[in-house]
Amino acid sequence: GVVYHYNAEGIHRAETGWEQCISIPLVQPDMFGLLQVWDKLLEEFSTGDAWLPHRYEEHEHNCYTYALAFINSVLKAQGKQQINKSEFTEKFVVPQTKKASKYITLHQELMANEFYIVPLPEQEKQC
């Protein structure tokens, strides 16, 4: 897909360069229909004056602020309570970061000790 991000040069749309990022699922299973309109909503949101390059500020008005403001705009449109940075970090970012850390640690251990994983033959998978 396309990754929208915001920095001192403004809004960017990238199809590559984010292969090492962590994806944080935000849409609950009963709301998958919302995914179809997110691209349109994100495009409209990104054209706002708040995201012009000169408004960027490294600590207070950055890519994290951009992502959270978009999420809150969707929540507001749904009539739901918006979330603050602390709540978003605690509920969404930290759990995914912990999972990624465990995976990276496991991968490093396997590589350091020259282990590798072999897929099971189809017959054994069914047992």
Domains of the chain by residue range: 3-84
Residue 82: predicted pLDDT: 95
User: How does residue 105 score in pLDDT terms, banded at 50, 70 and 90?
Assistant: very high
Taking the model in full, what pTM does it have? 0.75
Concatenated DSSP letters of 56-120:
-BTTTBSHHHHHHHHHHHHHHHTTPPP--HHHHIIIIIHHHHHHHHHHHHHHHHHHHTT----PP
From residue 114, how far is each of 104, 106, 107, 110, 121 by CA, in Å?
A: 15, 12, 11, 6, 22
The larger pLDDT score, comparing residue 81 to residue 22, is at 81
* Exposed/middle/buried for residue 47 (C-beta within 10 Å: 0-12, 13-18, 19+): exposed
For 3-22, what is the mean pLDDT? 92
